[in-house]
A and B are shown apart, each in its own frame.
Chain A
Amino acid sequence: MSVIEKDVILRNSRGLHARPAALIVKTARMFKAEIAISKESDTVNGKSIMGVLMLAAPSGTLLNIRAEGEDAEEAVSELTKVIEMEMEY
């Protein structure tokens, strides 16, 4: 079982509002790995929309992604893309 951890800065200019949060959760759910996302001391399940929404992270926040499972590496790399992306909305 591999564990991959990475710090990523949230780039979306309006922060982690409902749509980007939904995109993160959708991406996380494509993988088998257990995914945790943390903002400072708050850690939530990356596959849970309410969890990710709860972070209420503004643009520029440092988020930590931690994935555990066979496809952890791929999960972290896909999630990094989403978190670092400027979204249209």
Chain B
Amino acid sequence: MLTVKSLFLDNRDSLGINSIVENRGLDRKIESHRTQKTALGITGLYLYVHSNRVQIFGNSEIAYLNQTSKTEQFLNITKLFQNRTIPCIVLTHNLSFSEVVEELAKQYQIPLITTSFTTEHFIDVITELLFEKFAPETNIHGTLVDVYGIGLLLIGKSGIGKSEIALELIKRGHRFVSDDVVKIRKIGPVNLYGFAPEIIKHYLEIRGLGVLNIKDLFGIVSVRNRKKIELVIELADWDPKENYDRIGLDDQFYTVLELSIPYLKLPLRQGRDIATIVEIAARNQLAKQQGVHSAKTFHERLIAQIEENSLNSEF
């Protein structure tokens, strides 16, 4: 549960908070990831003011209040506070609230907060923060490593060797995010970010060695706090009956929190250097993201050759 207190006090600097003018009601809940510029809501037209959204006052609200009489302000703001459950009001540009607003906020216990940011800047920052706070989240059994800047999620059943492959990748200079449990958050409409649950952050388990602190063993550059997930690789026991992708023409996807991420299934067999294959998969993904698709280019070349052959055979 997100309260006004936790949002604004934990992010004082990033939200440019100047002062908490009214601190009654700091335990009010924020239940929406959206904010609202109160605008006409202070003129008595409270109908379109959404309860549960952080309200923002800027130059226009203050200019309006300054040119209305105290009685009118009192009536309009009272209407707003009586009819809508507002978590708090944030005033931008380091402006000051009018006496009437301060009086009524005290009475209705609505926190008043000022920021030194401009309205646009403040809305940008708070929206990003709220998006993250309200982001859908899930846990996945897997190991997340950043390989050449590609966030690579290794999945597969317990004991298949996810951690061992991650360790080999870390040894080769790639960066570790989380082992065995990855918390995944959907931030914005298209991005999935993975990070480690706080308690196991930086730790990786290798059977026979136990729990290892990667940051202590490999240094600060070997870890990162979170990474966008761009490729899912499933490690599986080699099954001679299964048809593994031999060409790579058809891109496959894995669904997490309703988003599709490119997916590969890698069969394990003695003699296959999986860490190297995983590195190459990351390179291949980088190439695909830049529009270069090895399998497709190969296929086009083959088709062209076949056409040429058939033309030649006509003569």
B178-192 vs A: 1/0 string, CB under 8 Å? 011100000000000
Chain A positions 18 through 35: 1 when the CB is less than 8 Å from some CB of chain B, otherwise 0: 100000000001000000
User: Are A48 and B139 in contact (CB-based, < 8 A)?
Assistant: no
Are A48 and B181 also in contact (CB < 8 A) when A29-B158, A42-B139 are? yes
A30-53 to B contact mask, C-beta < 8 Å, 1/0: 000000000000111101111101
Asked if B180 and A56 sit within 8 Å, CB to CB, the answer is no
Number of residue pairs A-B, CB distance < 8 angstroms: 41
- Size of A's binding interface in residues, CB under 8 A: 14
Contacting pair B200 A50 (CB below 8 A): yes
* A87 interface hit (Cβ, 8 Å): no
Q: Of all chain A residues, which has the CB nearest B201?
A: A54
Within 8 A of A (CB), among B132-177: 139, 141, 158-159
Inside 8 A of A51's CB, which chain B residues have their CB? 139, 141, 180-181
User: Which residues of chain B are within 8 angstroms of A54 by Cβ–Cβ distance?
Assistant: 181, 197, 199-200
Confirm or deny: B277 has a beta carbon within 8 angstroms of a beta carbon on chain A.
no
CB-defined contacts of B197 to chain A, threshold 8 Å: 54
B interface, size bucket: 10 to 19
- Find chain A residues with CB under 8 A from B158 CB: 29, 45, 47-48
Does chain A have a CB within 8 A of B205? yes
State the majority secondary structure of interface residues on A. Answer: mixed
Q: Is the CB of B141 within 8 A of A44?
A: yes
Residue B304 at the chain A interface, CB threshold 8 Å? no
Asked if B203 is an interface residue, CB under 8 A from chain A, the answer is yes
CB neighbours of A43 from chain B (8 A): 139
User: Would A49 and B205 count as touching, CB distance under 8 A?
Assistant: yes
Asked if residues A50 and B180 are in contact (CB atoms below 8 Å), the reply is yes
B138 closest partner in A (C-beta): A43
Chain B contacts of A50 at CB under 8 A?
Answer: 179-181, 200, 203-205, 211
CA of A45 to CA of B199, assembled, Å? 16
On whether the beta carbons of B141 and A45 are closer than 8 Å, the reply is: yes
Q: A47 CA to B159 CA in the complex, in Å?
A: 9
Residues of chain B within 8 A (CB-CB) of A47 are 158-159
Closest beta carbon of chain B to A56's beta carbon, Å: 5
- Cα distance A56–B201 when bound, in Å? 13
Which residue of A is nearest B158, CB measured?
A47
A18 vs B205: C-alpha distance when bound (angstroms): 12
Q: Does A29 lie within 8 Å of B159, measured CB to CB?
A: yes
Bound together, the chains give a CA A72 to CA B288 distance in angstroms of 42
Contact with B along A62-75 (1 / 0, CB 8 A): 00000000000000
Footprint of B on A, CB under 8 Å?
Answer: 18, 29, 42-45, 47-51, 53-54, 56
10 A–B contacts, CB within 8 A, in A order: A18-B211, A29-B158, A29-B159, A44-B181, A45-B180, A49-B205, A50-B181, A50-B204, A51-B139, A51-B181
